[in-house]
Amino acid sequence: MKKIFCLFLSLAVLFTSARADEGMWLLPLIQKMNAKTMKDMGCKLTPEEIYSINNSSLKDAVVQFGGGCTGEIISAEGLLVTNHHCGYSSIQKLSSEDHNYLEDGYWAMESSEEIPVPGLTVTFLQKMTDVTGMLSKLRKESLKQYKDSTNKIELADSVVEAERKNLVEQAEKDNEGCHAEIEQFYNGNVFYLIIYKKYKDVRFVGAPPASIGKFGGETDNWMWPRHTGDFSMFRVYAGKDNEPAEYSVDNVPYKPKDHLKISLNGVNNGDFTMIMGYPGRTQRFQTASQLEEMITVHDIRIAARDLRQGIMLKFMEADPAIRLKYANKYAGSANGYKKWIGEKKAFGNLGIIDEEKGKEAAFTKWVNARKSRKEKYGQALQNISESVDNSIAAEKSLVLLDESIANIELIGLSSNFNGAFKKAVKNGQDTSAALQTAYDAIKGYYKDYYEPLDRKEASALLSFYKDNASPDCYLDLGGDFKNMDVDAYVKNMFDNSVFTSGQKLKNAISEDNEKVFKDPARDFIKAIIGIGMKLIMEETAEDDTLQQNSRIYTAGLMEWNKGKKSYPDANFTMRLTYGTVKPYSPKDAVTYRSYTTMKGIMEKEDSTNYEFKVPSKLKKLYEAKDFGQYARKDGRMPICFLTNNDITGGNSGSPVMNGNGELIGLAFDGNWESMSSDVMFEPELQRCICVDIRYVLFLIDKYGGAGYLVKEMDLVQ
């Protein structure tokens, strides 16, 4: 127990001589903090070759893909690879019943067949600059200036915020075609000015069918052993000057500053691995009270999603057309649902909250040992706990609202229409033009909408809300909410709403637009807004106090562990993590090896289960052992492998590289036994699940018949 406590203490504080396989490290600090350890583990690259602002480096081949994933450039012609589940929503939007790219897969056999993806972007990091000293100095000066004011902290923060805006504006003037952000780290104790360049013309090149790219479905999600070919391919296009441009037939493939070479040499236990990408959010600075709140809120999310997903799945299994419409909605909901279940289980198994309480007790003892520390940090933990207590009721009610009735699609359609209409009127359009503008803004949504499914969900979700809401959160729907006939209310709303189909809405706009303004869905929206705004005000009332005390608490942790290597919580900025290929043992007498092969696909095959169907062509390739140059030395076809790299959501699609910086796989998942990893890194259990790049190339070449794409890449053997 003492050993476990020490490990947790190290990673929860995040200022440690951390294990080499722990940490989401800031790229500008690799030379200072990580270079020697990485070299000793097998990295052959210098920090300058990984991150440079003056010369091409690995960071120039890694991108933010869309709004929440990572991708990497793998050719001199802007070819990009990421996970299948990262490209999933784009592929689904491009699909139709006649051209179902999700189910059937797709490969462009020439550039003219690459399909534009409206709204999809990729973003390249240009540079990161530490501006902490400048902003900290300004804050200290402002606090001194306003020392006699009762709200001196708020005044000082406003001065700093104004300067942050000035720095961003100046950076964007100095870096034409780029956008700038100032991100905070360590709960507002460190700040970096980050410059990005975003490309808006991204085209779909290819992906395997869902039976490969999503093999195992939600059953295998977060699980090992894994046999999923989780990848999809796109290409970045630019104007003829190689700069970002809106889609045009005249655009040309982007010429990257750098692209990744691809290794066919495979992996072995103990091999060095590093991953670069954009991890989303971790909570390794959360206090025990915040963690308890998080788990409590998860219970509400899990229950609501279980209800909604059950309805979706029933309709999807009954009709392939509905499966296509709701595939992305279901997958997005189910991913979080299963993660939260696993997280709660891991919290209990690993004693996460108790370990955090032990760490806080040790910190408090250190604080109380000196008067000056007690004055600076002595109240932070108590104040955070009180803020959580004051906001937890509103937080739970807000999550209940968000996960239940706010997910009724009819309500979302009506709300988005109203928002677009108001914006059009504000921009000077008359009523008729504004109605048409609003219709145009939402008409595409109906492609993936099925009214009977939404009607069924609406009854279930409204009943769920009614049964779980506190009396002060009852909806004002013109009657006794607690005893209302939910089915009758929903039937009336759906029967009389013009938003249940694009054609009904279009007819109402052209024939009798009063139907739009008097639609029953609008009354429901008003009721939700009334409760929602009240809850938001209650839930955010503690934000300033919570942020201030979190900053103070983290500053105390920094002082407590001064001089030790550190990494901040993930916040969707580019990070590097390094480790090794490594198996693990999840429980007594069970040991998992570090890789899987195609034999496992055949062992899992179940023609009666949608998630485990195997394409006949893949079976023929397996039976013929037709693996080409992509097989292991023992002749087997590799599928996935494990490393102990420290990743989280947002790292999906990240390049897994060897010591030479060559691509060996794509990160796509974590393992079930370490679902508490956003809070605690558990070195014996936490693993990153990666699809082997050799399986990716095999599927492109031997299965997809798009070998010309492989010829475009730089392969290393």
Amino acid at 131: V
- 3-state secondary structure at position 106: strand
φ, ψ at 669 (rounded to 5°): -165, 165
Cα–Cα distance measured from residue 175 to residue 201, given in angstroms and rounded to the nearest whole number: 20
DSSP characters over 230-250: --EEEEEEE-TTSS-----TT
Residue 428's contacts (CB-CB under 8 Å, 6 or more residues apart) are none
CA distance 610 to 89: 19
- Pairing relationship of beta strands 655-657 and 663-670 according to DSSP bridges: antiparallel
Q: Contact 130/189 with Cβ under 8 angstroms?
A: no
Angle between helices 451-468 and 409-426 (to 10 degrees): 100
Nearest to 254 by CA among 317, 201, 330: 201
Phi and psi, residue 186, nearest 5°: 50, 45
Q: Token digits for 296? A: 């409590």
Q: How far apart are CA 669 and CA 559, in angstroms?
A: 34
The answer to whether residue 569 is catalytic is no
Q: Which of 652, 654, 674, 677 is catalytic?
A: 652
Do the Cβ atoms of 667 and 691 come closer than 8 Å? no
85 is catalytic: yes
Q: Before 118, cis peptide (omega within 30)?
A: no
What distances in angstroms separate CA 153 from CA 184, 342, 390, 548, one per listed residue?
Answer: 17, 40, 21, 9
Contact partners, residue 50, CB within 8 Å, separation at least 6: 27, 30, 57, 58, 59, 276, 576, 661
466 touches 483 (CB < 8 A): no
| Residue bearing tokens 């900290």 | 136
3-state secondary structure of 254: coil
Residue type, 649: G
Under the phi-then-psi rule, with left for phi > 0, alpha for psi from -120 to 50, and beta for the rest, what region is 475? Answer: beta
DSSP 281: B
Query: Any idea what DSSP says for residue 404?
Result: T
Structure tokens at 535: 């809850």
**Which residue is listed with tokens 């429980």?**
587
Between β-strands 715-716 and 575-580, what pairing exists: parallel, antiparallel or unpaired? unpaired
Tell me the H-state helices in 319-351: 320-350
Rounded CA-CA distance 598/580 in Å is 23
Q: What length does the chain have?
A: 717
C-alpha to C-alpha distance for 587 and 649, rounded to whole angstroms: 25
The label of the residue with tokens 């933990």 reads 381
| Radius of gyration for the chain, computed over Cα atoms and rounded to the nearest angstrom | 27
Of the candidates 57, 75, 85, 519, the residue annotated as catalytic is: 85
- Cα 181–Cα 184–Cα 187 angle in degrees, nearest 5: 160
> Of 230, 519, 569, 678, which residue is the catalytic one?
230
| Cα separation, 615 vs 702, whole angstroms | 13
Can you tell me the distance from the alpha carbon of 337 to that of 325, in angstroms, rounded to the nearest whole number? 20
Just list the catalytic residues: 85, 230, 652
